[in-house]
Amino acid sequence: MATLRLGDTAPDFQAETTSGPISFHEWLGDSWGVLFSHPADYTPVCTTELGATAKLKEEFDKRNVKVAAVSVDPLESHHGWIGDINETQNTEVNFPLIADKDRKVADLYDMIHPNSLENATVRSVFVIGPDKKIKLTLTYPASTGRNFNEIVRVIDSLQLTADYKVATPANWVDGEDVIITGAVKDEEIPERFPKGHTRIKPYLRTTPQPNR
């Protein structure tokens, strides 16, 4: 299938997971979602990534985000691997690992690297909004572990900019000033952003984060 793009509807699917069977869209409900893939079970980088994700559960919960991981290995393998993750990463895996031995999910989300083994997924990340639309895609090579603090940062930006006519500047983190979008006229700023603003250039106007 064609590569998924921002704004596309995230494909729905049914699958077995370490938390029981799920229907993806139904499981997401009104939450935001993070779906991320792993090249295989019992691999070192993936083990650290799943541990890091488990440790961020409180942060995801605060943002109304559900997380699910997918690997092309079967369910029995996932259950065994979770034991290793919990032991080596000093945590408890607290989100579903999707069993995808027939590669249905990997194919739906175009996770199979064309220049790699046919059963090796790249390190894909999809952030999905409550409207089931894809808001962010990230693809890492198999050799590079993902930065899950960055994924949390991006979700903060996505949730903020979904509700206000603002954009977030380079390296922005929650609590810092944001940029007023060009859709907002100068005369509208006082009403929309009563905390005040700074006019750096006609096209570059900043304001304190409006939901803080």
Same domain, yes or no, for 86 and 176?
A: no
Report which of 83, 72, 73, 75 is spatially closest to residue 16, judged by C-alpha positions: 75
- In angstroms, the CA 97 to CA 78 distance is 7
This prediction has a pTM of 0.91
Q: How confident is the model at residue 120, as a pLDDT?
A: 56
Determine the Cα angle at 114 with ends 149 and 74, to 5°.
Answer: 70
Same domain, yes or no, for 125 and 28?
A: yes
Task: Say if 8 falls within a structural domain.
Answer: no
Same domain, yes or no, for 109 and 19?
A: yes
Task: Say if 171 falls within a structural domain.
Answer: yes
Find residue 15's DSSP bridge partners: 22
The one-letter code for the residue type at 207 is T
Residue of 46, 142, 180, 184 with catalytic role: 46
Task: Say if 1 falls within a structural domain.
Answer: no
In tens digits, what is the pLDDT along the chain, a chain of 212 residues? 458 899 999 999 999 999 999 999 999 999 999 999 887 889 899 999 999 999 999 999 999 999 999 988 889 999 999 999 999 999 999 999 999 988 899 889 988 765 555 555 568 899 999 999 999 999 888 788 999 999 999 999 999 999 999 999 999 999 999 999 999 999 999 999 999 999 999 999 999 999 98
Q: How confident is the model at residue 2, as a pLDDT?
A: 57
Concerning whether 126 is annotated as a catalytic residue, the answer is: no
Same domain, yes or no, for 85 and 180?
A: no
- In angstroms, the CA 109 to CA 103 distance is 10
Task: Say if 156 falls within a structural domain.
Answer: no
Number of domains, the chain: 2
What CATH number is given to the structural domain containing 92?
3.40.30.10
- In angstroms, the CA 153 to CA 187 distance is 31
Would you list the DSSP string of 135-153?
Answer: EEEEEE-TTS---HHHHHH
Tokens representing residue 105 in the block: 């999910």
3-state helix, strand, coil in the chain (%, to 5): 30, 25, 45
Task: Say if 186 falls within a structural domain.
Answer: yes
Task: Say if 153 falls within a structural domain.
Answer: no
Same domain, yes or no, for 29 and 130?
A: yes
- In angstroms, the CA 100 to CA 189 distance is 49
Domain span at residue 87? 14-148
- In angstroms, the CA 58 to CA 27 distance is 19
Same domain, yes or no, for 73 and 134?
A: yes
Q: How confident is the model at residue 180, as a pLDDT?
A: 98
Tokens representing residue 14 in the block: 């049914």
Same domain, yes or no, for 19 and 110?
A: yes
Q: How confident is the model at residue 106, as a pLDDT?
A: 86
Task: Say if 6 falls within a structural domain.
Answer: no
Same domain, yes or no, for 171 and 197?
A: yes
Same domain, yes or no, for 45 and 118?
A: yes
Task: Say if 93 falls within a structural domain.
Answer: yes
Sign of CA dihedral 165, 169, 175, 180: negative
Same domain, yes or no, for 31 and 99?
A: yes
Q: How confident is the model at residue 141, as a pLDDT?
A: 81
